[in-house]
Structure 1
């Protein structure tokens, strides 16, 4: 898909978008495997309906 441009290209480069997507996928895998997130501002993980990650 080289040569295509769109609104997102006006904001961030494709390399940045791919890096963000890779990070989100890794985080999703980590959380799905029972991992957690630490920090003072981390609220408890909600126990509601699951929403699939669409990439």
Structure 2
């Protein structure tokens, strides 16, 4: 993200929080894909089971 598209501190803060949320969701999704691709019974350190 190079710049904010909104004006005002409240709106910029909300936009930043949404950006962070999307970033973290992408990290979680990537971790889930890595666990499934390894076909491990449990994902190390995360307690995610492949049986779900």
Higher helix share goes to which structure? 2
Q: Which has the higher contact order (CA 8 A, sep 6+)?
A: 1
Into which bin does the TM-score normalised by the smaller protein fall? Answer: 0.3 to 0.5
TM-score between both structures, scaled by the size of structure 1? 0.43
Larger radius of gyration: 2
TM-score between both structures, scaled by the size of structure 2? 0.45
Higher strand share goes to which structure? 2
